[in-house]
């Protein structure tokens, strides 16, 4: 058990019986009222966020978490396969667990897996990845009055908007937070 004043961003706590990650913490002391800690948490099981308030002297139950860096290996009909670089052990996850992160997974990409109480809870991608453009229409010459963009299909199957000068076979840097084009790689 930890005091609410000791909460920090990135900690994992148990709130209403469910493990949750602390996304943001603010310590407040309004006027002549008692101090409190306001936190935004995300439930690990559901992915939903909540804004919670603790008294500054309240006790909060912390949860054991472990972050492990693994490398993506391949996908087959049984799921997605990752390798632990420390002991070369293969770790398998099903498609439901991997979710939308599959749009950015390329061979040997290092990702971080969050384990809560020994069970895998989430996959964290790097802030950006480099992917190859596999299909893209030709840009029309003279069509550059404004920041004109065209759709491009990447090697993972994801479709993003890129500038007209990007051609098939080029490598582009893509943000994993919002899926936007960041530049050539």
3 state SS for 121-150: EEEECCCEEEEEEEEECCCCCCCCCCCCEE
Could you tell me what percent of the chain has a pLDDT over 90?
Answer: 50
Confidence class of residue 142 from pLDDT cuts 50, 70 and 90?
A: low
The answer to whether residues 55 and 88 belong to one domain is no
The answer to whether residues 86 and 43 belong to one domain is no
Query: Domain range for residue 6?
Result: 2-62
The answer to whether residues 52 and 77 belong to one domain is no
Single residue among 11, 37, 62 that ends a domain in this structure: 62
What are the tens digits of pLDDT across the range 17-73? 889 888 899 998 888 888 899 999 988 878 788 999 999 888 999 988 888 999 999
Other Cβ atoms closer than 10 A to 125? 19
Total domains in the chain come to 3
Other Cβ atoms closer than 10 A to 170? 14
Residue 143 is predicted with a pLDDT of 59
Could you tell me what percent of the chain has a pLDDT over 70?
Answer: 96
């Amino acid at each position: 058990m930890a005091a609410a004043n000791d909460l920090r961003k990135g900690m994992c706590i148990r709130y209403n019986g469910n493990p949750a990650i602390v996304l943001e913490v603010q310590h407040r002391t309004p006027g002549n009222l008692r101090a409190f800690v306001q936190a935004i948490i995300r439930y690990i099981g559901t992915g939903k966020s909540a804004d919670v308030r603790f008294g500054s002297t309240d006790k909060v139950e912390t949860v054991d978490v472990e972050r492990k860096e693994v490398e993506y290996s391949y996908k087959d009909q049984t799921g997605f396969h990752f390798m632990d670089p420390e002991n070369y052990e293969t770790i398998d996850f099903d498609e439901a667990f991997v979710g939308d992160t599959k749009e950015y997974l390329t061979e040997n990409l290092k990702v971080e897996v969050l384990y809560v109480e020994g069970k895998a809870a989430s996959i964290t991608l790097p802030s950006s990845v480099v992917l190859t453009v596999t299909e893209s229409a030709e840009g029309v010459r003279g069509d550059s009055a404004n920041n004109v963009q065209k759709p491009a299909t990447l090697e993972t199957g994801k479709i993003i908007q890129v500038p007209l000068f990007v051609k098939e076979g080029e490598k582009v840097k893509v943000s994993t937070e919002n899926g936007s084009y960041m530049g050539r790689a």
